[in-house]
């Protein structure tokens, strides 16, 4: 999914690292700190003019800019912030949170995911399980030795103001409704739902009206984002092909689960037409986001990894050409999102965490 549970996969992979490997990673970080003008940037990361760390503990991800680029909403499970599972937090774009706690703007109940600003910069949308139960739902990690993500049926999509007051509920269908993002044109929301028995993409107006299904093939379709002009949608998908794959997918789905280890990127028009597969790299390709020019996509992938990690950021043209590696981490980089003015990129990373498991937010000044 397009939410912080995605980190379970990376964290599980990191648990495979032994002490020698972690010491090697820390040694590399020390070398970079000595040799580089900006110690957070690895020498090969030529697209980063500067890099600023803005959180310092817990799992922080799914960070999205307000339409005016002045604020950022993100989710965190940082126990020092008095939360037991993912909740939504608000920050100004120039803030950092090493010694202070940002304001929480979700209810603090259930598990939340996938917040996104509305065009008025005064409201957000996000998915939450709090109507199902006030406690954090369980987070299964493996089934038969394979990594899985839960698809909670209690997720629905809500609108809230920046004080955390819920002002509207946009979905109330039975099943999973989550992963909403808003078109830069400010007129549509794309989201993922199981309301028809599979995991497909839908669009709706900002008030929840005019719901339309736009993907129809068997498989998990999620993590969708509009292009800067609002005409296209990029998303990740696991499309089972063989009888065995289809049977396994349906069995997991019946349990409210999906397996995220084999995913490729797909692109289509905003109404679902002209659907085509963009990547064919193998392993997990996910968290895609359009570059400001609308002609390229940045995403996270472990397709070059032999043991499931590292995950790094890559770019590719929407014509499927020009694949380029952006980050050079030895652990985990994901959830890249450009500011609306195209000057900055926020993403989540395990870098500079002392060899531990914390995943923090970083903002880079972008240069082509």
126 falls within a domain:
yes
Cα-to-chain-centroid distance, residue 263: 14
Query: Sorting pLDDT into bands at 50, 70 and 90, what band is 97?
Result: very high
Quick: pLDDT tens for 145-183.
788 999 999 999 999 999 999 999 999 999 999 999 999
Three-point CA angle 346, 330, 355, nearest 5°: 90
300 pLDDT higher than 70: yes
- Residue 342 belongs to what domain range? 6-366
125 falls within a domain:
yes
pLDDT at 324: 98
Q: What is each CA distance from 288 to 3, 208, 213, 264, 279, in whole angstroms?
A: 13, 24, 20, 10, 11
Residue with tokens 């690292």: 17
Question: Do residues 181 and 113 make contact, with C-beta atoms less than 8 angstroms apart?
Answer: no
Give which of 134, 101, 131, 128 is closest to 115, Cα–Cα: 128
Work out the average pLDDT over 326-337. Answer: 96
Number of domains in the chain: 1
Quick: pLDDT tens for 104-145.
999 999 999 999 999 999 999 999 999 999 999 988 778 777
What is the number of helices (H) and of strands (E) in the chain?
3, 27
174 falls within a domain:
yes
pLDDT at 18: 36
343 falls within a domain:
yes
144 falls within a domain:
yes
Tokens at residue 107, please?
Answer: 């209810």
Quick: pLDDT tens for 10-63.
333 333 333 333 344 444 443 333 344 488 999 999 999 999 999 999 999 999
Quick: pLDDT tens for 252-286.
999 999 998 899 999 999 999 999 999 999 999 99
Q: What is the DSSP string of 143-160?
A: ETTEE-EE--TT-EEEEE
29 falls within a domain:
yes
1 falls within a domain:
no
CATH code of the domain containing 205: 2.120.10.30
pLDDT at 261: 86
Which of helix, strand or coil describes residue 64?
Answer: strand
Whole-number CA gyration radius for the chain: 19
CA dist., res. 314 & res. 298, Å (int):
6
């Amino acid at each position: 999914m397009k939410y912080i549970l995605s980190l379970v996969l990376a964290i599980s992979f990191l648990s495979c690292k032994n002490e020698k490997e972690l010491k090697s990673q820390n040694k590399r970080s020390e070398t970079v700190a000595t040799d580089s003008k900006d110690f957070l940037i690895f020498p090969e990361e030529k697209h980063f003019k500067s890099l600023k760390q803005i959180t310092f503990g817990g799992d922080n991800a799914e960070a999205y800019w307000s339409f005016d680029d002045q604020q950022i909403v993100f989710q965190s499970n940082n126990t020092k912030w008095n939360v037991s599972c993912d909740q939504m937090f608000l920050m100004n774009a120039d803030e950092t949170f090493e010694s202070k706690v940002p304001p929480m703007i979700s209810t603090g109940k259930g598990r939340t995911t996938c917040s996104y600003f509305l065009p008025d910069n005064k409201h957000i949308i996000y998915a939450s399980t709090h109507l199902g139960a006030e406690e954090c739902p369980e987070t299964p990690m493996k089934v038969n030795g394979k990594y899985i993500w839960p698809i909670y049926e209690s997720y629905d999509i809500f609108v809230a103001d920046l004080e955390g007051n819920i002002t509207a509920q946009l979905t109330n269908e039975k099943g999973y409704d989550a992963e909403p993002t808003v078109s830069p044109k400010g007129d549509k929301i794309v989201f993922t739902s199981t309301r028809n028995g599979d995991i497909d993409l839908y669009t709706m107006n900002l008030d929840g009206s005019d719901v339309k299904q736009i993907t129809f093939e068997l498989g998990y379709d999620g993590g969708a984002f509009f292009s800067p002009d609002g005409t296209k949608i990029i998303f990740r998908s696991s499309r089972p092909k063989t009888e065995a794959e289809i049977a396994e997918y349906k069995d997991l789905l019946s349990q409210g689960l999906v397996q995220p280890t084999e995913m490729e990127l797909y692109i289509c028009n905003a109404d679902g037409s002209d659907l085509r597969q963009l990547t064919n790299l193998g392993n997990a390709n996910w968290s895609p986001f359009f570059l400001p020019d609308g002609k390229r996509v940045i995403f996270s992938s472990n397709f070059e990894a032999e043991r499931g990690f590292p995950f790094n950021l890559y770019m590719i043209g929407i014509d499927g050409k020009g694949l380029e590696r952006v980050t050079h981490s030895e652990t985990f980089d994901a959830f890249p999102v450009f500011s609306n003015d195209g000057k900055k990129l926020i993403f989540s990373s395990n870098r500079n965490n002392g060899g531990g498991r914390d995943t923090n937010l970083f903002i880079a000044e972008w240069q082509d």
